[in-house]
Structure 1
Amino acid sequence: MIINDAVFGKIEYEYVWSRDSTVEFCRKEVDIALMIDDEEDGEFSEKQYTSYNSLIQNWEYLQQSILQPILDYYKQKRYELGYDVSYNENYPLIETAKQLLERIRLVGIYVPSARRFEGRYIGLTFDCAWDIENG
């Protein structure tokens, strides 16, 4: 089923509502999947609309603010795997957000069903160069 939602645009239901889209992420145009979790009836909650609109309104700030936590996560994983003391070409030393951006790619924005969480939530999905299997 395909609907034209006032907020999410033209989306198709195939176990999840989705559409392909292009967004700017850190000064680069990227192709992503916008995914909205809800029932097949296409009646989305106000929380979902508010979450998505908030993301769009704050996108410039948010895309910069998420880089450091991703970098921190990478450094922690690298440490846990022992690659901070033993070299692994798949887990190179990455110390800056600029270096990180060379190794990650935004691939999706996920708007979960409002029933799943109390507050407003949005998920961002990335592919990365160091863990091909899990993205």
Structure 2
Amino acid sequence: MKVTDEIFGELEYKYVWGRDFQVSLFGKDSTVRLSVGASKEVPCSLLQKSTFIDLSKNIENINSDVMSALFFFYKENLEEFRGCIDSDDWGEMAPEISSEQELNKLVVLENINIQDAEDKSKRVVYYFSTTFEEELGVSVIIVNGKVVEVVTDIAY
């Protein structure tokens, strides 16, 4: 099923409403899944539309903050990640890194979810698959345009 929204454009329903979305992170452009709504009857709310407009206007700053937060999270938790990986694989899966750009080899942005937050905050979640946390991946949570948390235990 497909609908055309005045803000999001053409959305397709595949368990949630979404579409492909172009984004630039770590100096490269890629296409990721943008997901917006879980209700088959209502593709997106006014809050989600407003959140997406704000994200679009500020995406360069938000992406920069996401990369910084992800880098800090990785550095802070490297030993914990390594505890779950065979030491022979550390160099490939969980190496020491010294710059945000080096994360490019370790993470892949898979999804950007524009959530319909019950508290009416403008909530966006970037979900990354990673070499160092293969089972859960890593999510960066943005509320009202600011990164508030990086976690490994939620789905997008």
TM-score, scaled relative to structure 2 = 0.73
Structure 2 CA distance, aligned partners of 1:2 and 1:81?
A: 40
Q: Equivalent residue for 2:97?
A: 94
Look up the equivalent residue of 1:92 and give its one-letter code: P
The secondary structure found in structure 2 opposite 1:39 is: coil
- What is the letter of the counterpart of residue 95 of structure 2? P
Does residue 77 in structure 1 map to residue 77 in structure 2? yes
CA–CA distance in 2 between the matches of 1:81 and 1:130?
6
* Runs of 5+ unmatched residues, structure 2: 138-156
Task: Please state whether the residue corresponding to 1:134 is helix, strand or coil.
Answer: coil
Equivalent residue number for residue 25 of structure 1:
25
Residue in structure 1 matched with residue 117 of structure 2 by the alignment = 114
Report the equivalent of 1:134.
Answer: 136
Q: Does the CA-based 8 Å contact 1:38-1:112 persist in structure 2? A: no
Shift of 1:43: 5.2
The SS at the match of 1:107 is strand
Higher strand proportion (structure 1 or 2) = 2
Q: Paired residue for 1:124?
A: 126
Q: Would you say the 8 A contact 1:26–1:63 is kept in 2?
A: no
User: What's the TM-score, normalizing by structure 1?
Assistant: 0.83
Residue 52 of structure 2 contacts residue 114 of structure 2 at CA under 8 Å; is this kept in 1? Answer: yes
**Superposition misfits of 4+ residues, deviation over 6 angstroms:** none
Match of 1:104 in 2: 107
Partner of residue 63, structure 1: 63
Which amino acid in structure 1 is aligned with residue 4 of structure 2? N
Aligned to 2:142: none
Q: Distance in 1 between matches of 2:116 and 2:38?
A: 5
Match of 2:11 in 1: 11
- Confirm or deny: 8 A CA contact 2:17 2:43 kept in the other structure: no
SS in 2 for 1:123: strand
Structure 1 residue aligned with 2:42? 42
SS of the residue aligned with 1:100? helix
CA contact (8 A) 1:4 1:10 kept: yes
Which of the pair has more CA radius of gyration?
1
Kept in 2: contact 1:45–1:114 (CA 8 A): no
User: Greater CA deviation, 71-80 or 2-11?
Assistant: 71-80
CA distance in 1, matches of 2:54, 2:61: 11
* Paired residue secondary structure (2:20): strand
Calculate the aligned-residue CA RMSD, in Å. Answer: 2.2
Letter in 1 for 2:58: N
